[in-house]
Amino acid sequence: MTDGASSGESAKKRIIRHVLIAAGTLFLVLGIVGVFLPILPTTPFLLLAAACYARGSSRFYRWLMNNRLVGTYIRNYREGRGLPPRVKVIVITLLWVTIGYSAAFAVHVLWARVILILIAVGVTTHILYIRTLRHEDVDHP
C-alpha cells in the first residue's frame, strides 16, 4: 500500500514543481516586459520568478541568479544593496517617456490620463526611495 501512496505523492510533487517553473517563467517574462512597459513593475515580477524557481528547480534558480542581465539586479535588491544610479535614471526616464507619450497621444479619457500620471509618480517615488548602489558597495572578487 505504501508504494501507491508514495507514487501519488511523487506525482503531486512533480506537478507542483512544474507549476512553480511555469509560474516562474511567466513572472520572468512579465518582469522583462516591465522593463519596456512601465505600467508593469519589473522588480516584483523578477523576485517572484526567483522565489518560484528556488522552490521548483535549483537549475532554473541558479540560471536566473547568475544571468548577466538580471541576476545581479535581483541579488542586489534582495540583499538591500539597492540600484545603481544609472539604472535609476534609465528606469525613470523610460517610465516618463512611455507614460507621457501614452497620456498625451494614446489615451483620450481624462481620468485614465490622471491614473497614468499617478502611476508614474508612485513608481518614481518608489525607485527614488530604493537605496542607491554605489561602486564601493559592490563586492569585488
* In contact, 57 and 28? CB cutoff 8 Å: no
* In contact, 91 and 37? CB cutoff 8 Å: no
| Interval 15-63: pLDDT, tens | 999 999 999 999 999 999 988 876 777 888 899 999 999 999 999 999 9
Q: Which residue carries 505504501 as its cell?
A: 2
Q: What confidence score (pLDDT) does residue 6 get?
A: 61
pTM to 2 decimal places: 0.67
* In contact, 124 and 88? CB cutoff 8 Å: no
Cell numbers at residue 51, please? 522565489
Q: What confidence score (pLDDT) does residue 5 get?
A: 55
| Interval 78-105: pLDDT, tens | 888 888 898 889 888 888 988 999 999 9
Domain ranges, ordered by start, for the chain:
1-79, 82-141
Res 139 pLDDT > 70: no
Res 64 pLDDT > 90: yes
> What is the arithmetic mean of pLDDT over 2-23?
81
Return contacts of 28-32, CB within 8 angstroms, 24+ apart. 28/64, 31/70, 32/70
d(CA 32, CA 41): 9
Res 119 pLDDT > 70: yes
Q: What confidence score (pLDDT) does residue 141 get?
A: 42
Res 136 pLDDT > 70: no
Mark residue 107 as left, alpha or beta (left: phi above 0; alpha: psi -120 to 50; beta: remaining).
beta
**Single-letter amino acid, residue 42:** T
